[in-house]
Amino acid sequence: MLKIISANVNGIRSAYKKGFHEYIAASGADIVCVQELKAQEPDLSDDMKNPHGMYGVWHCAEKRGYSGVAIYSKQRPDNVQIGMGIEEFDSEGRFVRADFGKLSVISLYLPSGTSAPERQELKYRFLDAFYPMLAEMKAEGRDIVVCGDWNIAHQNIDLKNWKGNQKNSGFLPEERAWIGKVIADLGWVDMWRKLYPEVPGYTWWSNRGQAYAKDVGWRIDYHMVTPDLAAKAVQAHVYKDEKFSDHAPLVVEYDYSI
């Protein structure tokens, strides 16, 4: 069995203070994809680089205390790709890929457009650039999972207050249509929705009000998976026993070995 976790930690140092390091060990995960490190490489302790002896690869943002992604794995990758090859996005530390035999795992942090119109425009540029990359990866014929914070809720079931968010970044018609094409046209499988068609599966809650307590959430963290690997998914859950950040880890188990 292969257990893969995706977790936006909203600051790796903050999450470690809240028990994320211990959670990695207790989870029994084979691979952990982390987003929003909010740290430069010199800021990362040995435990943050290689937790519990796992092999770590990371892509930090140039801006201090911002963005950044990582992959931790029990097995050393055969090959690693740091970044997308597009400076505008790579400077923000949004993509890292690790290959293990026929399996490829990607930790992705797709831009948010909530802070300013300029950031929404950057988000659209990212979508335009990432779509052909997803098509190329799908065409590789490998087993691939793109884990991470996609910052888009696809359908009404994916956020509690969908009626009130139709004009807000993360649930705009153009964004929802884009992720719909990734699934319908490119053939990627939204693993949670495939396993649990009727379960919301929220993974992020606003810090405003009592969103977490009242479970007024969004499902914006995904395992987006190639079909052959998706067919091997056994079960999934959103881990809420502890709170490491404003996101909760998404855990998927596959009947698969590397």
Supply the CATH number for residue 196's domain: 3.60.10.10
Q: Which are the catalytic amino acids?
A: 109, 149, 247
pLDDT for 121: 97
The model's confidence at residue 91, banded by pLDDT at 50, 70 and 90, is: very high
Q: Output the pLDDT for position 103.
A: 98
Question: pTM of the full predicted structure?
Answer: 0.97
Distance CA(233)–CA(253), nearest Å, equals 6
Q: Residues annotated as binding site?
A: 8, 36, 149, 151, 246-247
For residues 188-200, give the mean pLDDT: 98
Q: What is the pLDDT of residues 204-224, one digit of tens each?
A: 999 988 999 999 999 999 999
Number of domains in the chain: 1
| Phi/psi at 79 (5° precision) | -155, 150
Amino acid 153: pLDDT: 98
Dihedral over Cα of 198, 7, 105, 23: its sign: negative
Model confidence pLDDT, tens digit, residues 22-57: 999 999 999 999 999 999 999 999 999 999 999 999
- Predicted confidence at residue 115, as pLDDT, reads 87
| Residue set of the binding site for Mg(2+) | 8, 36, 149, 151, 246-247
Distance separating alpha carbons of residues 123 and 178, to the nearest angstrom: 12
Amino acid 249: pLDDT: 98
User: Which band of pLDDT confidence, cut at 50, 70 and 90, is reported for residue 136?
Assistant: very high
Query: Does 184 score more than 90 pLDDT?
Result: yes
Summarised one tens digit per residue, pLDDT across range 227-243 is 999 999 999 999 999 99
Domain containing 147 equals 2-254
